[in-house]
Amino acid sequence: MKKLRIAVALGTRPEVVKLAPVVKVLRSQPETFEVSVLSTGQHRQMLDQALAPFGLEVQTDLRLMRENQTLPDLTALALTAVTGALASLRPDMLLVQGDTTTVLAASLAAFYARVPVGHVEAGLRSHDMANPFPEEANRRLTSVLAELHFAPTPGAGAELLREGVAADRVVITGNTVVDALLELSARPFNPVGTPLEGLPLEGKRVALVTSHRRESFDGGIERICLALAELARAFPDLAVVYPLHLNPNVRRAARSILEGCPGVHLTEPLDYPCIVHLMRRAELILTDSGGIQEEAPTFDTPVLVLRTVTERPEASQRGQAVLVGTDKDLIVATASRLLTDPAARAAMTGKGNPYGDGRAAGRIARAIQGWAGGQTPPLPPELQFVP
């Protein structure tokens, strides 16, 4: 079989984290795969920050972001630019991950170029086109265009089958973020030179907070921040660490309410090793991040999901996460219970990670090879992920 040319499109930090293990495995088999990474630069600063810990280099940097760019602007620009890149690279498959604007535009460009698309983290559904926006639409449309669907969980695979995707095009792989998490967490962590250096965390319980979703901009971020301030006042032994997203809506709201609040530490965006360290250290995580929902069970850290719906229901179904939305009183009450009641905390821990086992990237590589060789299904069921 000839060497397979694989193009990998990414544009945001989560895409880097979740695709880095796949690129690593593919590149470990140079006799089978030739890999080229292309970037839209959708989240320029945070993307560059994510590449370094994995030693990941971008071969084609499209640098598409402009000041005050709208979603239609970015989508149109990415569609045109990725089309040109694919014409030059001439890959046998384009890999995309998740549900960003980069994913949708790159998948459509590949469709027009008749390049098969492999969709990593396929099948996640909230069944609400406005929540998350525009991600729910992006991933549904990408599923229509994809040739191979790498579903992270059996539940995600079942969603695809209900939508009419052929069973021999769906592979249950586990989530690649667990691969990345296990790789990074095995390394020693040194806070020197990071935004964590000098934070007074010694002897404190830590609550890690991340929040950046567009659907929270209409008052939601403010309610979350008011809840954090109340928790910090109620628990003097609690250090609330809130790395601020670069979105000005998030930064403005958080700083107006939390700047100078005792026990609350607002930081600049953290690189992935810092986030992994905090997840391991945290007593509690409050987040609207999909990736952190998937990662936290590895460290047995309870999660309050700052959303009313989630496309990652496995943790909440198993009692490892609780959906609290942006309701200030519910956030405070739920967090307070976990901080004061050992039995409540114990009920959310000790259940393993339903999202992955650290071997997802290997399954994806084998499935691509099986697909190229005409194997049906591309990865035998007995080799697929079972939580």
Catalytically active residues are: 99, 121, 135, 212, 214, 245
User: Smallest Cα–Cα separation from 323: which of 126, 139, 138, 160?
Assistant: 126
Phi, then psi, of 129 in degrees rounded to 5: -65, -15
d(CA 242, CA 226): 13
For residue 348, how many other CB atoms are within 10 A of its CB?
A: 21
Between helix 360-372 and helix 176-185 the angle, nearest 10°, is: 140
Tokens of residue 240, six digits: 């609330």
Burial of 230 (0-12, 13-18, 19+ CB in 10 A): middle
What is the H or E stretch that residue 210 is in?
Answer: strand 205-210
Q: Find out whether 48 and 65 touch, Cβ atoms under 8 Å.
A: no
